[in-house]
Amino acid sequence: MLGIMRKYKQSIVIKVVFGIIVLSFIGTIFLVWGKGDRELTPSSYAVKVDRATISYEEFQRTYYRLRDIYAQIYGPALTPEVEKQLDLKKQALDSLIDAALLRKAARDMGIKVSKEEVQKAIAAIPSFQKNGAFDSAQYFAVLKANRIAPKEFEESQKDELMVKKAQDQIKAKAQVTDDEARKLFSKRNDRLNIQFAAFSPDQVKGEIRLSDQELTDFLARNQNDFKTPEQVSVSYVLADPAKLAGAMEITEADIQSWYQKNIDRYQGKGGILPLAEVKEQVRADARRFHTGQKAYELAAAALNRHKAAGDLAAVARELGGAVAETPLFTAQAPAPALAGEKEVLTRAFLLKQNELGGPVETAKGIYILKLKERRPSEVPPLSRIRAQVEEKAKAAKAVELAKKKAEEAQAKLGKGDTAGLALQETGSFAFDAKGNVPVIGTAPELMEAAFALTAKAPAPQTPVKVGSRWVALRLKERTELNAAAFPAEKERIKQELLPAKQEEELRKWLKELRAKAKIEINPAIKDQ
Secondary structure class of 337 (helix, strand, coil):
helix
The answer to whether 40 touches 53, Cβ cutoff 8 Å, is: yes
Instruction: Note if the pTM is more than 0.75.
Output: no
What Rg value do the Cα atoms of the chain yield, rounded?
36
Tell me if residue 500 falls in helix, strand or coil: helix
Residue from 422, 394, 393, 407 nearest 470 by CA: 407
- Specify if 499 maps to a domain: no
Position 1 scores a pLDDT of 36
Are residues 280 and 302 part of one domain?
Answer: yes
Angstrom distance (rounded) from CA 390 to CA 164: 63
Q: Do residues 365 and 238 touch, judged by C-beta distance below 8 A?
A: yes
> Are both 394 and 355 inside the same structural domain?
no
> Does some domain include residue 493?
no
427 and 456 share one domain: yes
| Cα–Cα dist 246/306, whole Å | 22
Same domain, 353 and 369: yes
Letter string b/e over residues 180-189, b meaning 16 or more CB atoms within 10 A of that residue's CB: ebebbbbeeb
Asked if residue 180 belongs to a domain, the reply is no
Residue 393 makes CB contacts below 8 A (sequence gap 6+) with 210, 214, 215, 218
CATH of the domain at 513: 1.10.4030.10
389 & 522 share domain: no
Q: Write the single-letter amino acid at 84.
A: K
Residue 312's φ and ψ, nearest 5 degrees, are: -70, -30
Residue type, 386: R
> How wide is the angle at C-alpha 387 spanned by C-alphas 383 and 392, nearest 5°?
120
Distances (CA, A) of 344 to 236, 332, 366: 10, 14, 10
β pairing state of 133-134 and 129-130: antiparallel
Whether residue 404 is found in the same domain as residue 456: yes
Q: Are 175 and 350 in contact (CB under 8 A)?
A: no
Report yes or no on 57 lying in a domain.
yes
pLDDT digits (tens, 9 = 90+) for 390-440: 999 999 999 999 999 999 999 999 999 999 999 999 999 999 999 999 999
How far apart are alpha carbons 268 and 104 in whole angstroms? 68
Q: State how far the Cα of 44 lies from the Cα of 88, in Å rounded to an integer.
A: 20
Q: Is residue 136 part of a domain?
A: yes
**Which of 356, 375, 394 marks a domain boundary?**
375
pLDDT of residue 36: 40
Residues 72 and 96 in one domain: yes
Burial 147-171 (b: 16+ CB within 10 A, else e): eeeeeebbebbbbbbbbbebbeebb
Phi, psi angles (nearest 5°) of residue 380: -65, 155
Q: What's the rounded Cα separation, in Å, for the pair 304 and 173? A: 83
Question: Is 497 among the domain residues?
Answer: no
Length of the chain: 528
Same domain, 314 and 197: no
pLDDT averages per 10-residue partition of the chain, 528 residues: 40 38 40 39 76 89 89 87 88 93 94 94 93 92 89 92 94 95 94 97 93 94 93 92 79 85 83 85 86 87 90 91 93 91 92 90 91 92 94 95 97 94 96 95 96 94 96 96 92 95 95 94 78
Count other C-beta atoms under 10 Å from residue 129's C-beta. Answer: 14
86 to each of 81, 90, 132, 317, how far by Cα in Å? 9, 9, 38, 59
Q: Beginning with the edge strand found earlier in the chain, give each strand of the sheet holding 231-239 in spatial order.
A: 323-325, 231-239, 365-375, 356-362
Residue 322 burial by CB count (10 A; 0-12/13-18/19+): exposed, middle or buried?
Answer: exposed
DSSP per position, 304-320: HHHTTTT-HHHHHHHHT
**Residue 169 belongs to what domain range?**
2-175+507-526
Yes or no: say if 331 and 347 are a contact pair by the CB < 8 Å rule. no
Specify whether the CB–CB gap between 54 and 46 falls below 8 A.
yes
What pLDDT, on a 0 to 100 scale, did the predictor assign at position 43? 52
DSSP bridge pairs for 425: 195
Burial of 457 (C-beta count, 10 Å sphere; 0-12/13-18/19+): exposed
Angstrom distance (rounded) from CA 329 to CA 308: 26
Domain count, the chain: 3
Which residue type occupies 102? L
Q: Which residues are registered as beta bridge partners of 329?
A: 232
DSSP collapsed to 3 states, 352-395: CCCCEEEEEEECCEEEEEEEEEEECCECCCHHHHHHHHHHHHHH
For residue 486, tell me if it sits in a domain: no
335/389 same-domain check: no
Same domain, 34 and 91: yes
Look up residue 252 and give its amino acid: E
Say if residues 528 and 224 touch (Cβ distance below 8 Å): no
Give the C-alpha distances (Å, rounded to integers) separating 216 from 212, 376, 439.
Answer: 6, 22, 40
Query: 285 and 369: one domain?
Result: yes
Please indicate, yes or no, whether residues 140 and 91 belong to a single structural domain of this protein: yes
- How far, in Å, CA of 309 to CA of 291, rounded? 28
Q: How far apart are CA 372 and CA 349, in angstroms?
A: 11
